[in-house]
Amino acid sequence: PATGIDVDSATWQALVTRAVGGSQQAALNVLGALGAKQRELAGQLLEVFSLKLEGWSLELQRHCPEDWNQCSAVLVQCLTGTSKRQLFSKFQV
């Protein structure tokens, strides 16, 4: 890319930073190599997406708590790179 950054990776990192940390500014710092206008637009889009996602999340939690738990488990597995098989290992002292 013309900016010299991997836009896909930076975008993913910005989304994860915003979702986990909750700070839009921290997420935008990940996109620091973008131009000011691109960063501003990215910030606006990131905020709209985050608020929409939060609404969906709350709706799913209220109406389908078991589905929410399964969805959360999948997200955690994706973010940590682990699977259920790895989580349930034999306990040893």
22: left (phi over 0), alpha (psi -120 to 50) or beta: left
Tell me what pLDDT residue 83 has.
67
Residues 6+ apart with CB under 8 A from 16: 79
Tell me what pLDDT residue 62 has.
92
Tell me what pLDDT residue 38 has.
81
H helices, E strands: number in the chain: 5, 0
pLDDT tens for the chain, 93 residues: list them: 445 667 777 778 888 888 887 777 787 787 777 778 887 888 888 888 888 988 988 998 899 989 888 888 888 888 787 766 555 556 566
The model's pTM is 0.60
Nearest to 42 by CA among 7, 4, 75: 7
CB-CB contact of 33 with 4 (8 Å)? yes
